[in-house]
């Protein structure tokens, strides 16, 4: 099990492989983001997207699937997240793209309000198959301490 104490600032990870399908793009957009450029080729062709592209929130969801898979491979003691510091959709994500993630831990500190957990801050970049960044964000995570009674402040 990977606890807060085990996280090292500066550590980089590269993981994930998510094949974006047309069916899933349209299914997600119908439910959550039914703007024409996420639903229909012809409508998308008239916009700066050029062709049918995934909802940015769908890209977030696909990225989370890769992050969780990686956390579970490492048996990370993750306890959810209080949020993000920023999130940028840099390029459209199209059906047929294959996404992957690179992340770097940029900060960690023990929670003051919940000393049994620590906060981690990671720079997350999502790339397509052409190694172009499609999304980047700074994600905050909550991780359980191995020793919740430790006096040390990280």
Pick the binder of its own copies from 35, 75, 98, 129 (CB under 8 A).
35
**Angstrom distance (rounded) from CA 101 to CA 67:** 8
- The token pair that represents 87 in the structure block: 């999130």
Q: Is 81 in the site for its own copies (CB under 8 A)?
A: yes
Report the half-sphere exposure of 123 (CA within 13 A, side-chain side). 8
Strand-pair partners of 108: 120
**Angstrom distance (rounded) from CA 25 to CA 153:** 44
Distance in Å, CB of 45 to its own copies, minimum: 14
Nearer to its own copies, 10 or 149 (CB): 149
Contacts of 114 (CB under 8 A, 6+ apart): 142
Q: Which one of 9-17, 29-37, 97-105, 120-128 is the stretch in contact with its own copies (CB under 8 A)?
A: 29-37
Nearer to its own copies, 10 or 112 (CB): 112
Handedness of CA 31, 33, 37, 43 (dihedral sign): positive
Distance in Å, CB of 133 to its own copies, minimum: 12
Distance in Å, CB of 83 to its own copies, minimum: 4
Size of the site for its own copies (CB under 8 A): 34
Which residues bind to its own copies, rule: CB under 8 A?
A: 28, 31-35, 37, 47-49, 55-57, 60-62, 64-65, 68, 71-72, 78-89, 114
């Amino acid at each position: 099990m990977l606890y807060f104490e085990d996280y090292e600032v500066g550590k980089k990870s590269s993981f994930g492989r998510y094949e974006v399908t047309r069916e899933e793009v349209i299914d997600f957009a119908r439910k959550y983001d039914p703007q024409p450029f996420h639903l229909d080729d012809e409508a998308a062709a008239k916009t700066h997207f050029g062709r049918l592209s995934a909802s940015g929130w769908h890209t977030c969801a696909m990225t989370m699937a890769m992050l969780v898979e990686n956390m579970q491979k490492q048996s990370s003691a993750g306890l959810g997240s209080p949020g993000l510091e920023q999130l940028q959709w840099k390029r459209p994500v199209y059906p047929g793209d294959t996404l992957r993630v690179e992340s770097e831990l940029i900060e960690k500190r023990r929670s003051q309000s919940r000393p049994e957990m620590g906060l981690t801050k990671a720079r997350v970049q999502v790339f397509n198959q052409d190694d172009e960044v499609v999304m980047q964000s700074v994600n905050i995570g909550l991780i359980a301490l191995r020793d919740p009674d430790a006096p040390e402040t990280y």
